A and B are shown apart, each in its own frame.
Chain A
Amino acid sequence: MTTTTTLSASGYATAVRAALADLDDEVRDELCEDLEAHLAEVEADTEAPLTESLGPPEAYAAELRASAGHGDAVAPTGAMMQFSARLRRLAADEGLADLRRSLARVWPVWVVLRAVALVHVATYIVGGSGLASTISVPGLVAIAAAVWVSMRIEASRRGRVRWLLRAGDVVAAWAALVLLFDIVAGVPAYGGIPADVAADDGWTLSHPDGVPVTNIHAFTADGERLDGVLLYDADGRPIEVGDAQWEAGITTIHERDALGQPILNRYPLRQQVETYSNGTDTLVPRDVPPPQVLLPLLDDPDDAAGHELPEADQLPAPDAAPRTDDLPTDAEPGPGGPITEPTRAGSLSLVGTSWNR
């Protein structure tokens, strides 16, 4: 094996070290301790390139190894060994030496990222929930511990242990991809939305128990169902229930504004479900009937009789006495229309129709 290219002192030194790569790190470092100083002296001494005055770096390495009593180089026999020998020759290349120096600068970043990534993947193994577990206090403690342990191993001079760490780097690189994927894809799901709903169907408004809110039905205080109510939050943002596609077979038909844009915060939403038409086997879309609701009974008949939305200071009091007399009785099933069937139910009145899908 002969290196014919002209090498700088650092390139020559790298090549010599590469040819001694099969030795323990400690032995190799000791052998090459004053290599750079030597090469600098030789360069200062002669005009000729190093490969001419000292011979190829591989020969230099072989001579150094033999005279120091470390035997001959382990001849690469198997395919794997030949591959690693080729890697070592590649590593001696000047460009790669530059790359190695660049990598050395970002190494501390990798040490931390490696720990974060491995802990992140480990949270799945111990039954955690990915990002949320990684950023928790135990997760951060585990990351700090992983950084410390890996630095201890890194500082170890024993070649075999460090090779183990290099293998660990491969695993960590994979773990970093998992982490990256979770950061990119997982953040929207991180915030209280049930993962099983959010993962497949995107965002949806939900109750604290995780059940999605699929529609909103508004009533006046006296039980009249309101249609075409536009809802906004404290910031004036439209309140939407999100994507209700999670409910199989239900289609939401949004009203559209003058520009043809769907009005997403107009309630109740018109929703249809496909049902079998009167004993036939033909599926026809049918409006989803409104739900049966329990309205609080109010103590002020005048407000309720006015069929107006209560003002803020006229909202029902929690201790309101039951009152059902003025409620409309013209029950007429169907969306939009008032479907009232006042029934005394304790301190509440029952309004609406029952609907069984």
Chain B
Amino acid sequence: MDTSQLLKGTLDMAVLAVLGDDDGYGYDIVRRLRDAGMPEVGDASVYGTLRRLYASGDLTSYVEPSEEGPNRKYYAVNDRGREHLKRAEETWRSFAETIDALLEGSTR
């Protein structure tokens, strides 16, 4: 199955989860998602998702100077973002359980 379709619905949750561990800047989040096992995640998708989550009030941001180049914009999850992540997690788990059950039924 093409995971890009799955990614579309779950990228918000993935980004919030990564930021829940620790604050991060755009490319850092891209790398952490890839390291976590999502090699096909698109750079632009992550940046766009960050902009949207920030605009909707789930994230806060701050700028820190970088030794290697331009300043980096760091993102952090705020209370609203954590609430968003909690609801998304519940939806995901319930959905995943349903899918698991369906799959188990069909292969039994």
Spot the interface stretch: B40-48, B76-84, B94-102.
B40-48
Interface of B is mostly: helix
- Residue on B with the closest CB to A54? B43
| Min distance, Cβ B96 to any Cβ of chain A, angstroms | 22
User: Given that A42-B27, A60-B43, A61-B44 are known contacts, is A37 also in contact with B70, CB under 8 Å in the complex?
Assistant: yes
Task: Provide the residues of chain A in CB contact with B55, threshold 8 Å.
Answer: 30, 68
Binary per-residue interface labels of chain B (11-30) against chain A in the complex, 1 for a CB within 8 Å, 0 otherwise:
10000000000000111000
Give per-residue flags for A203-225: 1 if the beta carbon is below 8 A from chain B beta carbons, else 0.
Answer: 00000000000000000000000
Give the contacts of A24-48 with B (CB-CB under 8 A).
Answer: 30-31, 33-38, 40-42, 44-45
> What are the 6 A-B residue pairs with the smallest beta carbon separation, nearest first?
A67-B48, A68-B48, A63-B44, A64-B44, A41-B27, A67-B45
The answer to the question of A65 belonging to the interface, with a C-beta cut-off of 8 Å to chain B, is yes
Contact status B43-A34, CB under 8 Å:
no
- Give the complex CA separation of A34 and B24 in angstroms: 13
Q: Is A68 in contact with B43, judged by CB distance below 8 angstroms?
A: no
| Interface of B toward A, CB cutoff 8 Å | 11, 25-27, 42-49, 51-52, 55, 66, 68-73
Whether the pair B47, A37 counts as a contact (CB closer than 8 A) is: no
Q: B44–A34 contact, CB under 8 A?
A: no
- Report the tally of A-B residue pairs with Cβ distances under 8 A: 74
Given A38-B27, A42-B27, A69-B52, A64:B47 Cβ within 8 A? yes
A177 at the interface (CB under 8 A from B): no
- Number of A residues near B (Cβ < 8 Å) is 24
Would A68 and B27 be within 8 Å (CB), given that A33-B73, A37-B72, A54-B43 are in contact? no
Give A65 to B49 CA distance when docked, in angstroms.
Answer: 9
A34-B73, A41-B69, A42-B27 in contact; A65/B43 too (CB < 8 A)?
no
A41 contact set on B, CB distance < 8 A: 27, 68-69
Query: Which of chain B's residues has its CB closest to A37's CB?
Result: B70
Answer whether residue A66 sits at the interface, using C-beta atoms and an 8 A cutoff: yes
Q: Given A37-B26, A38-B27, A67 and B11 touching (CB < 8 A)? A: yes
